[in-house]
Structure 1
Amino acid sequence: MSKVKYSHTNLITTDWKKIAKFYIDVFGCIPVGPVRKLSGQRVADGTGLVEPEIEGIHLRLPGYEEDGPTLEVFQYHTIRDETEKFANSRGYTHIAFEVSDLDSVCAKVISAGGWLLGKLARQPVAGVGVCTFVYVRDPDRNIIEVQEWEAV
């Protein structure tokens, strides 16, 4: 059987530097590797796009070692706008970060150009603990769940 290891999640934006800075400043993501500037036939073959041009960076997610998964923040020269996602939209809708100070992180989200979608809620999860969480949006309107856990 083939070995499988989670690698990254891709986030497409119209301003990769701005969105990368948001995730670095708010969640402590760490830039890894060089800035990617990708184009040409191989990229076209792999993506199924005609003449794609991509620029962006990988950000190591907090809480992982050097070989941990990354958030790939990319900007295509040509971007296709789609309908905005909501918490109950079909498909991938959000990423989540577990934090130790929910109020502080929510304040950072707002000061960095994001906003709260809801309000703080406490949800007991049997056998796990109590999760205090809220959904927020980054400056590009992507949904992020910010959560803080306490044992019961």
Structure 2
Amino acid sequence: MAVLGVLHVGLTVSDLDRSSDWYCHVFGLKEVHRQPGDNDYTRTLVGIPGAALRVAQLAMPDQEAVWPSSHTIELIEYVRGPGGRVAPLPNDVGASHLAFVVDDIDAICARVTASGGVLRNPPTEVTAGVNRGSRACYLHDPDGHTLELMEYGVERAAALRARTTASS
């Protein structure tokens, strides 16, 4: 028995069209599939009686359609059975965040704020740990999901490239 990989990260959103457009515009993702979820299987899976969903699957621009998944992010809108809005802080148990590696954190931050996202902090230098010399920030998408941006410093990027090269 083995875990074979991460399938995707799912985010519940209030407006599927807006959120898909936002993630595609801000992060350059592409929508690779859209489907309804209005069946007994879906209601059993999510544990919400009577639920009906709209789902969009988003992939990184260069993500190959390979197993275990063809997408990285799954956006889910509850058309029937929507819940309330939550706004957990990063230190709340049960809170989560999704992190993106970027090549120009300042440009992405400008796109985030121009597109309705909110920065929790400006890009800040990482001064300790494995990512020392990098820059990072936390932000919220239009529905309040916590996201992280990481622009690797020269040393961290070189170490990861060396590791990738050694394993191929």
> How high is the TM-score relative to the length of structure 2?
0.81
1:13/1:73 contact within 8 Å kept: yes
1:107 corresponds to: 110
Question: 2:88 aligns to what?
Answer: 85
CA distance in 1, matches of 2:99, 2:41: 32
Cα distance, 1:63 vs structure 2: 5.2
Structure 1 unaligned segments of length 5 or more: list them: none
CA distance in 2, matches of 1:101, 1:38: 37
Is residue 2:43 matched to residue 1:44?
A: yes
* % identical equivalent positions: 24
Tell me, yes or no, if structure 1 residue 144 matches structure 2 residue 147.
Answer: yes
Shift of 1:69: 4.2
- Aligned residue in 2 for 1:54: 53
Q: Given the alignment of the two structures, is residue 26 of structure 1 paired with residue 29 of structure 2, yes or no?
A: no
Letter in structure 1 aligned against 2:150: Q
Alignment check: 8 A CA contact 2:57 2:71 kept:
no
Aligned-residue CA RMSD (Å): 1.8
The aligned amino acid for 1:54 is: L
* Equivalent of 1:71 in 70, 73, 86: 73
Deviation at 1:129, TM superposition (A): 4.2
Per the normalisation by structure 1, the TM-score is: 0.89
1:27–1:62 contact (8 Å) kept in structure 2: no
- Measured after TM superposition, the shift of residue 90 of structure 1 is 1.3
Q: Which has the higher helix share?
A: 2
Q: Is the 8 A contact 1:117 1:134 kept in 2?
A: yes
SS at match of 1:57: strand
1:144 to 1:127, Cα distance in 2 relative to 1, 3 A: closer
Q: What are the residue-to-residue correspondences of 1:1-16 with 2, within 5 Å?
A: 1-16=1-16
Question: For 1:124, what is the secondary structure of its paired residue?
Answer: coil
In the alignment, structure 2 segments of 5+ residues that lack a partner are 156-168
- Could you give the per-residue CA deviations for residues 52-85 of structure 1, whole angstroms, max 9, x where no partner exists? 1000210013553223542100101221114312
CA distance in 2 between counterparts of 1:125 and 1:147 reads 14
Change (3 A) 1:50 1:69: same
**Residue 94 of structure 1 aligns with which residue?**
97
* Pair 3,90 (structure 1): closer, same or farther in 2 beyond 3 Å: closer
The 3-state SS of whatever aligns with 2:41 is helix
Compute the displacement of 1:12 (Å).
Answer: 0.6
Where does structure 1 differ by over 4 angstroms across 4 or more consecutive aligned residues?
125-129
Greater relative contact order (CA < 8 Å, ≥ 6 in sequence):
1
Report the number of matched residues: 151
Distance in 2 (alpha carbons) for counterparts of 1:91 and 1:97: 20
* 1:56–1:75 CA contact under 8 A, matched in 2: yes
1:116 deviates by 0.9
Cα displacement (A) at 1:124: 3.1
